[in-house]
A and B are shown apart, each in its own frame.
Chain A
Amino acid sequence: MSNSLKGSSTVIATARLIAAKDLRVELRSRVLLNQVLPFALIVMVMFAFALDSDAVLERVAPGLVWLATLFSVLVMVSRSFAVETADGALDQLRSAGVPATGIFIGKMLALMVQLMVLVALLVGAAVVLYRASFSWAGGVLLVTTAIAATCGLAAVGTLYGGLAAGAKGRETLLPLLLLPVVAPVLIGATRATESAFGTNGIAISEGWPWLGLLAVFAVLFSVAGAVAFGPLLDD
């Protein structure tokens, strides 16, 4: 009992340390700010070129927000593990006896914080570029959706990022592995955002059920990651 309590407290401590470390690395290197956010913005602009109609853009704005998020997740996950594997830092952490679950939760939390910033910016871009708008009630739904969706994306991203970490050719492999898995997030988050934006006159109340899907996804893959991350890194 006391042993497992002690175990869980080291997991939490590790998670906090790793998350703080990742965020500090980001604050100093500004990769998110200087590279990923501009990339996501240019994707949003390119969508407008491709679709070439204000009416269509307004209709598909929620989907485009989340598509741009997915593209950026791929870049951010690669980045998150490039930091770890560059100097064999991950191996050293493991051989020092740091719990894998703690590493997973820490990296997931750091990724989630960065994703929240990204989604906030993309929603702003949708308001400015695609004429999306939302009420206060819609805003509440939007924030809840963003929390659930980024939690799921961060969990899956960290899990599959860790799977491919350190292997040659992972940059090209990650999109192939990750995109099929996050399809439920794209579906759920887009539908919820549609009702938050009131796209096609969809009521806000219709958006809440989709949160169930996002929550189930987030919980399942958080648990799966916490369990599977150890065996994955242990080789």
Chain B
Amino acid sequence: MDNAGFIVASYIVTFGAVGAYAVGVIRRSRKSSREVPRDQRPWS
């Protein structure tokens, strides 16, 4: 494949960044959820 490095890099950047962000969000909310009682969360 021509330019394979560029192509693979763009896929890694895309899905890597989204994945890292998703993990970050979940970790942050787990940390803060320890302090917030469950009945205060309208979605659960």
A–B contact at 8 Å CB threshold (below)? no
